[in-house]
Structure 1
Amino acid sequence: MAEEKISRISREIYENVGGTENVNKLIHCMTRVRMTIIDDSKVNFEGLKAIDGVMGVVEDETLQVVVGPGTVNKVAQKMVETVGVRLGETFPHAGEQSIDDLMAQTKAQAKEKYNKPSKFKAILNTISKIFVPLIPAFVGAGLIGGLASVLGNLVTSGTLDAGTWMQFITVLKIIQAGIFYYLALYVGMNAAQEFGATPALGGVIGAVSLLTGMNPEAPLKNIFNGSALAAGQGGIIGVIFAVWLLSIVEKQLRKVIPDAIDIIVTPTLALLVIGTIEIFLIMPIAGVISTSLVGAINTVLQIGGGFSGFVLGALFLPMVMFGLHQILTPIHLEMIAKTGSTQLLPILAMAGGGQVGAAIALWIRLRKDKEFVARVKGALPVGILGIGEPLIYGVTLPLGRPFVTACIGGGIGGAIIGGFGHVGSIAIGPSGAALLPLIAHGKWWVYLLGLLGAYIGGFIATYAFGIPKDIKEKADHYGETVEVETIQPTLHVAPTAEFETATISSPLTGQVKTLSEIEDEVFSSGMLGDGIAIEPTSGQVVSPVDGTVSSVFPTKHAIGITSDEGVEILIHIGMDTVSLNGDGFENFVQQNDRVTKGMLIARVDLDKLKAAGFSTITPVVITNTGDYKKVSTAAHHEIKQGDLLLTIER
């Protein structure tokens, strides 16, 4: 279907439901766009039905506009993209928001245009978005699983009676498995949502990694070495990569598949192509990596001592992240069969201890960020009991550096156990405190010492070196306006002086532009008020009026001035320059300072802004435009500081 048709249908639906401001949420099913309407009286039902491409309208708890299979997903996606949200998210409504909220709403769009984050940070941010919605399930199921592990280990050690406790333990393990055994499905669905693919298809791709339909007696082979593929090989990271490929294939197919058969052909081809790639490429590659890692681990074990303990303890978290730790199970079983215990498991368990220490350090250093602290509080008890996924995917990995320092903590704990030597577990069980009952030959105190070493090592490494600067600044200003592109509404006052026409001089020298030329909807649409924009050729900024400074932003990129006549003027230097956190800006005034026309109020390094990829276009906006009859542009093309810029008619 031609893109212009999709755009037209989307636009006309909005026009007939009272605009985007009359829609609270939007989702779709196989044939219908479903909208939660705020005020039904604003909906033009006859107009909706008359739209070319609309097959019908259904009035229910949600307003349902029928556009047919194959078309509905494209129309719905276009509609949510128009307002900058995703399917199912609440629409932002300009009429209900403060100016702070309006600017925060557009920050993401402006950031895409002007701020170029590193690809590594973008990947970590994506991982965070995929796993954060799963944290409540991680915490609940993890605590239940942790309790099952402690009880199971006590039964194995003979402390508890198996006949009395095993059935209860089994129930707990079944509940725990609901999230952890089928984690690939949940991750697949969330990843699809993040990448713009169909969530159900993402879930199927996640399930493919479990090889559920494979005959164990005739397993699929690793094309690289001929070994049998194992369920879960490739891990969660492999699932995310496969779903990312799915999103690309699905979007391309929808561009070429006719709408009449889209619902049949697109998901079939997408699953067939990506499922095959996942089985025969992604999973085998992970198998090759796992084989290499196991070989490296065996080599390190032969070296022995604290060095081996450090290397193994530090490397285990990356193995968990890639789902490669499952390959170690045969090694554990072989060691137990030959020696009565596995000396590898206690060392590897230290990786979880490093996570715990890192999380506590993050809690302390970022304690002002209440949302983040709540996430840590939920994941910590589970981590202490040996369930590491919430801490890995919800806390340390999304931040990048703390994941590395947590690995260092795990290495320190492993070095302690490796240094003492001969610390083994009589059975395979979860790590953390839950493993204590399984430690053989009374060496539980060495294991506990190693665990404490991992806690302390992870804490110190993270506290000192593991806090990213931008994350710390965000936490320090949590709840404040510095981290989002916000415009603080100045206290509105009625004009204080009688006048027929007020004049605003230019604060800058440069090229005059219209607001519509600004690539930022808040300014270009006149949402903040009428005015003009200047593409500066000089970094000197002077006051355009006699008046009082009403606001100076902490990031120095925007200044508000109220003239003696009561005209409220906003000078916003560049687009999304809040991201520079004041770098390149110098202010010479503070809030409530008295200023006169032509007085130097700020200086900006235009070259630095441009080198960083930011637009230097500077809007000069009358934020109380509604108080006046007309705001007129008095300048065109070139302008110098002090030249007449705007006229205000009372």
Structure 2
Amino acid sequence: MAKEELTLNQLAKEIYEGAGGMDNVQSVVHCMTRVRMSVRDDEKVDQAKLKAIPGVLGVVDDEQLQVIIGPGKVNKVAKEMVDIAGVGLGEELPHSSGKDKVNAKAAEMKAAQKAKQKNSPFKALLKDISNIFVPMIPAFVGSGLIAGIAAVLTNLVTAGTLDAGTWQQFIDVMNIMKNGMFSYLVIFTGVNAAQVFGANPTLGGVIGAVVTLTGMNPEAPLTNLFTGDPLAAGQGGILGVIFAVWLLSIVEKKLHQIVPDAVDIIITPMLSLLVIGLLEIFLIMPLAGFISNGMVGGINWVLAVGGAFSGFVLGALFLPMVMFGLHQILTPIHIQMINETGKTMLLPILAMAGAGQVGAAFALWIKLRKDKELTEMIKGALPVGILGIGEPLIYGVTLPLGRPFITACIGGGIGGAVIGAVGGVGAIAIGPSGAALIPLIANGRWWGYVLGLLAAYVGGFVATYFFGIPKDKLAEQKLAEETVVEPTMTTVEPTTTAHATEVFSAVAKGAVHPLEEAADPVFAEKMMGEGYFIEPTDGAIYAPVRGKVSTIFPTKHAIGITTESGMEVLLHMGINTVELDGKPFDIMVNEGQTVTADTEVAKVDLDAIKAAGKGTSMMVLITNMNEIATHVLEKTGPVLASEEVFKATTK
């Protein structure tokens, strides 16, 4: 079959057959030039059959089975392969084929879009917070559902609907299970934060446990340095623990550098815990206590104002208080209100904060429905969120995205304003919020509470839908929804200017080598085309030729340049560096930008590449060799960056 007659679908299917069948392929990814497959049984791979496929330039069987297709086509072939299998790029293939999956395009484009996003300290912080809490989501969901059921039963018992003698033991058992998660959340947070920041996980757990103040003498409690009042367990909250563990990671790493190896295992943990523990007890927790006292005054003032304004302020600000562990200071206020009036007017308003999160989550689900990872998390967190357990939605969904957290708080404020305007809506006991609080609403005013819930749902939804979706997520969604018309292999090749000569230069200071000496057989055997490579001595990488940047691969390790004469040039930075996920590379140019030999296109961390066990060779290849008449490597050995080394002429 002629090469021109193969469609992408046919090419993908033949690659599967040569790899031993789709059932033998475990996963499919691609780099700038190759489809990379993890196979289950190497003996089933027929390399001769793969090499004979029209459109395949070569095959390498290393840690992965690599089928060389070439830039511009490889991403289309890889996408066709995962579409056939019904998975996303990098996901494990099932042992059967034909499963439809609309998310394949979103997965591919998401990676490309993320590679273009500029990092910022704030985005890095949100990413770290997400990495800390996402592993806890299953426990949040499981414990939250149990807590929600226990809360509903408790409220029904309190309201007299259920008999306490019959149901209390069931409630106690469920509370024991629930408390296994929520009572020790600071410890789990400390462990996960340590893993994210590079500290010892057990030490992180201990730092998290410090805020519980276990072991403090109640007869002589530690005092708040700012106010002189006794410290309260939990001051500092979750974010206080995260900050303390971040400091722990810095101190621990520094001590590992200076403490002698013979005593490092003894001295470093002790000093780390001592330094950070003291800071946590005498600075971080007191600072949170100082903030909490100010917030109590603010709450009292807001309550005095009353009405819809009070409801909005309290409903909007409650979640930030929860994150700092400051919500505990409201418990005495609730109890005092119940003792004096038989109900707390504050709790139903504060419950709206979680309802705003629910509305925001629905908006994210609808607006970003192509984001499988996000929608799956929302589906798991929504049931417990409706029951009043907000941690999964806060830490797993809205807070890591940033803007949705703010719009969710606005939704909570809207619900609080409705309850404040209705007036007289109070709870006869304190407990969870959300739908679980309905049986505890006093004097038949449950309808006012439900009205507030609905307003918070709608408010959080509308605010998030129109104002709370992050721009980068919207861009990913737009890319995922675009209809892609796949070309066949009969696509007309770009034309070149006849008899045009292009001068190529060294892309870095170092040594020029002929392509035959490359460590990677794909390049050494010239499967991708002719060229040369540089072994660099520093990480400043320049364009090899004058032209326009046509492609920047998402993992940043490869850049495509098209010259004015039509030569397609590939700058491939390192050997197998696609596996490094872009970390050693800082790209200095954009797609569509015109570059010359004096244009610095990237900064590369050569030490990081070497530490990962990868080669640092900077490969320069002409990939459309069918348009090239002559080529010559004019210089080998030591060179300076931008020094002329190679020439090629079109037909």
Q: Tell me the TM-score normalized by structure 1.
A: 0.67
1-side partners of 2:568 and 2:223: how far apart?
Answer: 72
- How far does residue 115 in structure 1 lie from its aligned partner after superposition? 7.8
* SS of match in other structure, 2:506: strand
2-side partners of 1:318 and 1:416: how far apart?
Answer: 20
Most deviating of 551-560 and 208-217: 551-560
**Aligned residue number for residue 512 of structure 1:** 506
Change (3 A) 1:479 1:450: closer
- How far does residue 461 in structure 1 lie from its aligned partner after superposition? 0.4
2-side partners of 1:152 and 1:528: how far apart?
Answer: 68
Query: What pairs up with 1:465-614 in 2 under 5 angstroms?
Result: 465-477=467-479, 506=502, 512-514=506-508, 529=523, 531-532=532-533, 541=547, 558-559=559-560, 569-570=569-570, 585-586=591-592, 603=594
Query: What pairs up with 1:339-350 in 2 under 5 angstroms?
Result: 339-350=341-352
1:266 to 268, 276, 281: 268
Change (3 A) 1:219 1:242: same
Letter in 2 for 1:324: L
- How far does residue 525 in structure 1 lie from its aligned partner after superposition? 7.8
Does structure 2 retain, via aligned residues, the 8 Å contact 1:515–1:532?
no
**Aligned residue number for residue 377 of structure 2:** 375
Does structure 2 retain, via aligned residues, the 8 Å contact 1:335–1:341?
yes
Q: What CA deviation, in whole Å up to 9, does each residue of 1:507-531 have, x standing for no partner?
A: 87xx53249799xxxxx98697364
2-side partners of 1:517 and 1:337: how far apart?
Answer: 83
2-side partners of 1:603 and 1:237: how far apart?
Answer: 46
2-side partners of 1:298 and 1:505: how far apart?
Answer: 79
Does structure 2 retain, via aligned residues, the 8 Å contact 1:410–1:458?
yes
Does structure 1 retain, via aligned residues, the 8 Å contact 2:191–2:204?
yes
Percentage of matched positions with identical amino acids: 58
Say whether 1:279 aligns with 2:273. no
Does structure 1 retain, via aligned residues, the 8 Å contact 2:133–2:189?
yes
- How far does residue 420 in structure 1 lie from its aligned partner after superposition? 0.9
Say whether 1:451 aligns with 2:449. no
Query: What pairs up with 1:346-425 in 2 under 5 angstroms?
Result: 346-425=348-427
- How far does residue 192 in structure 1 lie from its aligned partner after superposition? 0.6
- How far does residue 434 in structure 1 lie from its aligned partner after superposition? 0.4
Change (3 A) 1:505 1:621: farther
Change (3 A) 1:95 1:325: same
- How far does residue 213 in structure 1 lie from its aligned partner after superposition? 1.1
**Aligned residue number for residue 153 of structure 2:** 151
**Aligned residue number for residue 165 of structure 1:** 167
2-side partners of 1:363 and 1:400: how far apart?
Answer: 16
Change (3 A) 1:645 1:468: same
Does structure 2 retain, via aligned residues, the 8 Å contact 1:387–1:431?
yes
**Aligned residue number for residue 645 of structure 1:** 646
* SS of match in other structure, 2:218: coil
Q: Which runs of no fewer than 5 residues in structure 1 stay unpaired?
A: 1-37, 40-92, 105-109, 483-489, 492-502, 519-523, 544-548, 587-601
**Aligned residue number for residue 621 of structure 1:** 620
Query: What pairs up with 1:64-79 in 2 under 5 angstroms?
Result: none
- How far does residue 621 in structure 1 lie from its aligned partner after superposition? 3.2
Say whether 1:205 aligns with 2:207. yes
2-side partners of 1:377 and 1:166: how far apart?
Answer: 30
**Aligned residue number for residue 190 of structure 2:** 188
* SS of match in other structure, 1:622: strand
Letter in 1 for 2:398: T
2-side partners of 1:113 and 1:360: how far apart?
Answer: 27
**Aligned residue number for residue 244 of structure 1:** 246
Does structure 1 retain, via aligned residues, the 8 Å contact 2:113–2:475?
no
- How far does residue 223 in structure 1 lie from its aligned partner after superposition? 1.2
1-side partners of 2:156 and 2:347: how far apart?
Answer: 17
Letter in 1 for 2:250: I
Letter in 1 for 2:547: V
* SS of match in other structure, 1:570: strand
Letter in 2 for 1:230: A
Change (3 A) 1:553 1:398: closer
Does structure 1 retain, via aligned residues, the 8 Å contact 2:419–2:425?
yes
Q: What CA deviation, in whole Å up to 9, does each residue of 1:101-147 have, x standing for no partner?
A: 9999xxxxx99999862211111111000000000000000011011
Query: What pairs up with 1:7-406 in 2 under 5 angstroms?
Result: 95=64, 117-406=119-408
* SS of match in other structure, 1:645: strand
Say whether 1:634 aligns with 2:634. yes
Change (3 A) 1:258 1:362: same
Does structure 2 retain, via aligned residues, the 8 Å contact 1:305–1:415?
yes
- How far does residue 532 in structure 1 lie from its aligned partner after superposition? 4.7
2-side partners of 1:200 and 1:243: how far apart?
Answer: 11
- How far does residue 536 in structure 1 lie from its aligned partner after superposition? 6.2
* SS of match in other structure, 1:220: coil
2-side partners of 1:290 and 1:234: how far apart?
Answer: 10
Q: What CA deviation, in whole Å up to 9, does each residue of 1:530-557 have, x standing for no partner?
A: 64589668996269xxxxx9x8979999
- How far does residue 216 in structure 1 lie from its aligned partner after superposition? 2.3
- How far does residue 263 in structure 1 lie from its aligned partner after superposition? 1.0
- How far does residue 620 in structure 1 lie from its aligned partner after superposition? 6.5
Does structure 1 retain, via aligned residues, the 8 Å contact 2:360–2:457?
yes
Does structure 2 retain, via aligned residues, the 8 Å contact 1:115–1:614?
no
2-side partners of 1:262 and 1:288: how far apart?
Answer: 37
Q: What CA deviation, in whole Å up to 9, does each residue of 1:228-262 have, x standing for no partner?
A: 11111100000001111111111111111111111
Letter in 2 for 1:621: V
| CA RMSD in angstroms, aligned pairs only | 5.0
* SS of match in other structure, 1:212: coil
Change (3 A) 1:306 1:112: closer
1-side partners of 2:434 and 2:647: how far apart?
Answer: 68
2-side partners of 1:166 and 1:281: how far apart?
Answer: 41
2-side partners of 1:457 and 1:185: how far apart?
Answer: 34
Letter in 2 for 1:513: V
2-side partners of 1:111 and 1:133: how far apart?
Answer: 24
**Aligned residue number for residue 19 of structure 2:** none
Q: What CA deviation, in whole Å up to 9, does each residue of 1:178-205 have, x standing for no partner?
A: 1111001111011111111100000000
Letter in 1 for 2:162: L
2-side partners of 1:472 and 1:582: how far apart?
Answer: 25
- How far does residue 479 in structure 1 lie from its aligned partner after superposition? 11
Does structure 1 retain, via aligned residues, the 8 Å contact 2:358–2:382?
yes
- How far does residue 385 in structure 1 lie from its aligned partner after superposition? 0.3
Change (3 A) 1:507 1:539: closer
Does structure 2 retain, via aligned residues, the 8 Å contact 1:197–1:251?
yes
Change (3 A) 1:542 1:140: closer
Q: Tell me the TM-score normalized by structure 2.
A: 0.67
**Aligned residue number for residue 44 of structure 2:** none
Does structure 2 retain, via aligned residues, the 8 Å contact 1:149–1:429?
yes
- How far does residue 321 in structure 1 lie from its aligned partner after superposition? 1.0
* SS of match in other structure, 1:286: helix
**Aligned residue number for residue 432 of structure 1:** 434
Letter in 2 for 1:336: I
1-side partners of 2:342 and 2:597: how far apart?
Answer: 70
1-side partners of 2:300 and 2:176: how far apart?
Answer: 33
Letter in 1 for 2:634: A
